[in-house]
Structure formats: C-alpha cells, structure tokens
Amino acid sequence: MRLPPPASAGLGVRRSLLDALLAAPAGAFDFLECAPDNWLGVGGALGEALLELSRRHPLTCHGLSLSLGGPSPLDVDFLQRTRRFLDQHQVALYSEHLSWCSDDGHLYELLPLPFTAEAVHHVAARIRQTQDILGRRIAVENASYYAVPGADMDEASFINAVLEEADCDLLLDINNVYVNAINHAYDAQAFLTRFPSQRIASYHIAGHHDEADDLKIDTHGMPVKDDVWALLNAAHALHGVRPTLLERDFNFPPLAELLDEVAHIRRLQQAAEVDTVAAHG
C-alpha cells in the first residue's frame, strides 16, 4: 500500500478528467483520489484508465454512500467489494463523510447528524464495524451542514467524541470548516484548535459559492477562495503539513488551472515546513 507523504498535493479523479490526468506531465501532482462507489465493477476502457493511474500514482479513496450515521444496517456486501477495490489499487487511506445519506434507499445528499451522545455511540459503532470489515483504519470527514437537527454538544466536541470512541482518524476539510463557520457564526481558527493533531490524516480544500455574506454553499465547483487558503495556512501552523487534496466536482477549467492550485498547495506546504524548521532552531 502506498500512502502519500505529508508534503503532497493531489487531485480528484473524475471521468471527464481521465484523459487529461493520463496525459499530465510527470510530477504535476503527487497523488489522486477517487470515490470507490463510482468505480466498483467498472471495466473496459474506464477501468483500465483508473488502473493505469493507480499504477503511476498513490491512490486515496473517499467514499460517498456508506451512510456511516444512517439508521439502516451497514451494507456489508458493499464494504466487502470496497475492500477488494482498495486492495487491488493498494489504497492506504480511505475516508468517508461523518453524515448519513440513505434509509431503505439512497437519498443522494449528505445529511447532518445530530450532535448528541446517542449519535456518537451509533456512528462510532458503525465506524468500528467498517474498519473491521475493511481491515484498515479509516478517516471521517467533518461535513458541511446548513441546519443543526438537535444538539447537546457543539460540533467539535461531537467530532472528537466520535474519533475517540471509534478510534479512527480525521480527514479535515478546510473548506467545510470555513463554510460552517460563516453559516453558523463561529470562529474557524478557534475551531481548528480543538482537534488532536495525531488524529488528522489529511486535508481537503475546495471552492464554494458565496450566496451572501452570511451564507456560503459548499459546491466544489469554484476556485479556492483566499480566506480558505489562509485557513489552510492556519491548519499547517497548528497541526503540521498533511497530504492535501484539491476537490473539484464540476465546472472544470483546463487541467492547467487545477494544477496551478495544486502548485499553490505545495508552496504553502513548503513554507510551513520552513517555518517549522526555523521555529525549532
């Protein structure tokens, strides 16, 4: 299995980008990420293209449909198929959303969990079951949300309780922190300080839509905003450099523009590492 090094920057695999990714110059990115849900059982030219990419570059995986917080039993057959996919492509880092998205059928939306002790116990048990079936540790991603369905603790306390009880890692989505902080009026940098650095496996960064000064929509369809880059810098200062993925799901520019953002991730990582060395003399 190949795990991207801490100072590495990656891109998400999308079918419309396959040809461009295969033709990309050597060293343009350090790793790739795909959603295994969209590739299980895919063969032919598409399957061969993904296999070729995973031979050339470390591949990470970010699930979409496991529904870790959902009410229905986990889909064990799906998890077993996912394990075979992860093994085939030598995937060391697999993550899923700390949310739910199905109940007797997929809802095609990542829905928020209530920040309650009951929800902690429910989702932590399902994460432990997932890790047992996959035969590997996973990371869960802090989700964007637009309503709080019920809470007896704050978001950071909820996430930390899940990480501790499930004994799993955190995929820290920097854009989601920024979006949630604006929409729910909390301090994004203070939020970052709440998490134990040793639990953070990687970062995600993406663009969002500015609906209003106090309403941001997590779209993954725009370039990364300056405030989000600044928050990534803050995460580096607090927790150190981690493998960082640039997410883009639609409204794709030419690959060169995405690679410019990948290069910016690398510059921030290099600057953070220089600062760390300087601070320790």
> What is the rounded distance in angstroms from the CA atom of residue 210 to the CA atom of residue 72?
35
**159-197 per-position pLDDT tens digit:** 999 999 999 999 999 999 999 999 999 999 999 999 999
Of 61, 63, 64, 65, the residue nearest 90 (C-alpha):
61
How far lies 252's CA from each of 223, 225, 249, 256, in Å?
Answer: 10, 16, 7, 11
Q: What is the pLDDT of residue 92?
A: 93
Domain ranges of the chain: 9-279
**68-127 per-position pLDDT tens digit:** 988 889 999 999 999 999 999 999 999 999 987 756 655 456 778 999 999 999 999 999
From first CA to last CA, the distance across the chain in angstroms is: 35
Q: Position of tokens 């960064």?
A: 205
Q: What is the pLDDT of residue 109?
A: 62
Class of domain 9-279: alpha beta
Question: 17: which DSSP letter?
Answer: G
> What is the rounded distance in angstroms from the CA atom of residue 210 to the CA atom of residue 188?
17
> What is the rounded distance in angstroms from the CA atom of residue 178 to the CA atom of residue 90?
32
Residue scoring higher pLDDT (137 or 274): 137
**pTM of the full structure:** 0.95
For residues 67 and 101, the answer to whether their CB atoms sit within 8 Å is yes
Structure tokens at 239: 């927790």
The mean per-residue pLDDT over the stretch 56-75 comes to: 92
Residues of the chain with pLDDT > 90, as a percent, come to 83
Q: What is the pLDDT of residue 80?
A: 97
Q: 154 by DSSP, 3-state: which? A: coil
- Give the DSSP H or E segment for 12: strand 9-12
The mean per-residue pLDDT over the stretch 188-209 comes to: 97
Q: What is the pLDDT of residue 103?
A: 63
CA angle 191–193–195, rounded 5-degree value:
90
> What is the rounded distance in angstroms from the CA atom of residue 235 to the CA atom of residue 5?
17
Backbone angles phi, psi at 35, to 5 degrees: -95, 110
- Give the DSSP H or E segment for 231: helix 226-239
Residues of the chain with pLDDT > 70, as a percent, come to 96
